[in-house]
Amino acid sequence: MAKIHWLGAGLSSVPGIRRLAASGADMVLWNRTLSRAEAALEGLSTGVKAAKLDWQVLEDAVEPGDVVVSMLPGTLHLQVAELCLKKQANFISSSYISPEIKALDDEARQAGLCFVNEVGLDPGIDHLLAHSLVNDYKHSTAFKPDNKHFFRSYCGGFPKQANDFTYKFSWSPLGVLKALRSEARWLEEGEEQSIGTPWKAVSAYQTLLADGGRESFEAYPNRNSLPFMQDYKFGEDWNTQQFVRGTLRLQGWTRAWQSLFDEIEHLQGEAGDARLAELSEQLWEKYAYAPDEQDRVVLCVELEVRDAQSGEVVWHQGYNVDETGNQRGSAMGRLVSITVSLAVESVLNSELPVGVSAAPDSPELVDNWLAKLRESGERISRYDYLTMAEC
């Protein structure tokens, strides 16, 4: 029987680890601090073991056909993936597919190994929701390539009780700061847009929530949205007017962060990187989540379609996720790691393709994963905006 090697016992790992452990999985939880791994497994009566992460010990322990989950910092994913190739094991990460991981595709395929990425929350659940919407639209009577298509996918995590900064950090702020220095690319009014300062592209975004109410957020494009048009199977002949994947923030975020934006915008070179690391440490000290403080996650994915001539909305559906931390873990931790655990099960069940891949796009597997997320207690709502009814 294949063994699961889960690397990293942080807050974004625990719910998924516990879910796999409850199913009787043969698993080892590896962490640099052994006591933290042991704490994550506290109360579990299964045979899941905790181990101190030592690369040589890990390499000796991994067997062909095993599944290795990297919930370590992104800079270590390649090292883990290369270890998997060496030991003929499968690899899973919740992170975006990096060029370095993508370059391992041929080797992984030839070895018959699954190298699965983008199976957390964002990226991850957002992919599942997008695939579901696009597939259903394609099979609807409203489908026409020359319709005007508007796709929006926004996700954000923030404290349940807003603070003056409108934000708190679950882990090192450096990733958030680096993302703000990364170019964003998206489609608006049928034209490609790009900006090196994403916060200057903030717009108001209002969404329907699970309780039937509406809430307004600040939203901005994040990274490069354009490759996902192909990933989500938007046809080249489609009249796509808007396609954006971005980040949600609470109202007042732009104002609260303005002084930070002013400094980030002018950072350059090694000195700039050093200052960014310094800012990260300061923000972590001031705005890290307190123990047991509740977080909140909101994810909205929608596809709006209008008739090319009349402009009439002919199809408009979307998914909303609005979760808060509870006794089962933080909202972010649950939504990320439970999805990772689904990827582990799918690899063990030979449901995913070999080679480097992202979250599944087959309707059957998408529906299966969404059903299991709901069974785990996560509320994923779908709406038909033409009827204003849940569907």
Q: What is the pLDDT of residues 105-138, one digit of tens each?
A: 999 999 999 999 999 999 999 999 999 999 999 9
Quote the CA–CA distance of 102 and 314 in Å, as a whole number: 38
Which 3 state secondary structure label does DSSP give 385? coil
Q: What is the CATH number of the domain that holds 111?
A: 3.40.50.720
How many Å separate Cα 117 from the centre of its chain? 10
Q: Cβ contacts of residue 35 below 8 Å, gap of 6+?
A: none
> Does residue 151 lie within any of the structural domains?
yes
Per the structure, the complete domain to which residue 17 belongs is given by 4-116
pLDDT at residue 213 in the model: 82
pLDDT at residue 303 in the model: 99
How many independent structural domains does the chain possess?
2
Rg of the Cα atoms in the chain: 21
> Does residue 268 lie within any of the structural domains?
yes
Name which of 170, 186, 198, 188 is nearest 254 in CA terms. 198
Q: Cβ contacts of residue 205 below 8 Å, gap of 6+?
A: 152, 154, 216, 217, 218, 219, 248, 300
Regarding whether 132 and 32 lie in a shared domain, the answer is: no
Sole residue written with tokens 């002013």: 262
Q: What is the CATH number of the domain that holds 151?
A: 3.30.360.10
pLDDT at residue 208 in the model: 83
Regarding whether 33 and 173 lie in a shared domain, the answer is: no
Regarding whether 207 and 108 lie in a shared domain, the answer is: no
Cα→Cα distances 272→20, 165, 262, 264, Å: 42, 23, 13, 8
- Domain boundary among the residues 116, 144, 163 is at 116
How many Å separate Cα 108 from the centre of its chain? 23
pLDDT at residue 46 in the model: 73
> Does residue 85 lie within any of the structural domains?
yes
Regarding whether 318 and 233 lie in a shared domain, the answer is: yes
Cα→Cα distances 228→172, 187, 224, 336, 391, Å: 27, 11, 8, 20, 25
> Does residue 366 lie within any of the structural domains?
no
- Domain boundary among the residues 81, 116, 151 is at 116
Regarding whether 158 and 110 lie in a shared domain, the answer is: no
Regarding whether 138 and 74 lie in a shared domain, the answer is: no
Regarding whether 176 and 286 lie in a shared domain, the answer is: yes
Q: Cβ contacts of residue 294 below 8 Å, gap of 6+?
A: 159, 160, 161, 324, 325, 326, 330, 331
> Does residue 335 lie within any of the structural domains?
no
> What's the predicted TM-score (pTM) here?
0.95
What does the chain come to in residues?
391
Regarding whether 294 and 260 lie in a shared domain, the answer is: yes
Regarding whether 173 and 81 lie in a shared domain, the answer is: no
Quote the CA–CA distance of 178 and 275 in Å, as a whole number: 12
pLDDT, one tens digit for every residue, the chain (391 residues): 899 999 999 878 999 999 999 888 899 999 999 999 999 888 876 778 999 999 999 999 999 999 999 999 888 999 999 999 999 999 999 999 999 999 999 999 999 999 999 999 999 999 999 999 999 999 999 999 999 999 999 999 999 999 999 999 988 899 899 889 899 999 999 999 999 999 999 999 999 877 778 899 999 999 999 999 999 999 999 999 999 999 999 999 999 999 999 999 999 899 999 999 999 999 999 999 998 899 999 999 999 999 999 999 999 999 999 999 999 999 999 999 999 999 999 999 999 999 999 999 999 999 999 999 999 999 999 999 998 778 8
Does an H or E element contain 133, and which?
Answer: helix 125-138
Regarding whether 180 and 145 lie in a shared domain, the answer is: yes
Regarding whether 228 and 248 lie in a shared domain, the answer is: yes
Q: Cβ contacts of residue 115 below 8 Å, gap of 6+?
A: 81, 84, 90, 91, 101, 104, 105, 108, 355, 356, 357
pLDDT at residue 291 in the model: 85
> Does residue 352 lie within any of the structural domains?
no
> Does residue 374 lie within any of the structural domains?
no
Catalytic residues: 122
- Domain boundary among the residues 116, 138, 158 is at 116
Regarding whether 107 and 132 lie in a shared domain, the answer is: no
* Helix and strand totals (H; E) in the chain: 14, 17
What's the CA dihedral at 156, 375, 353, 240 to 10 degrees? -40
The DSSP annotation for 301-317 comes to EEEEEE-TTT--EEEEE
> Does residue 49 lie within any of the structural domains?
yes
CB atoms within 10 A of CB 162: 16
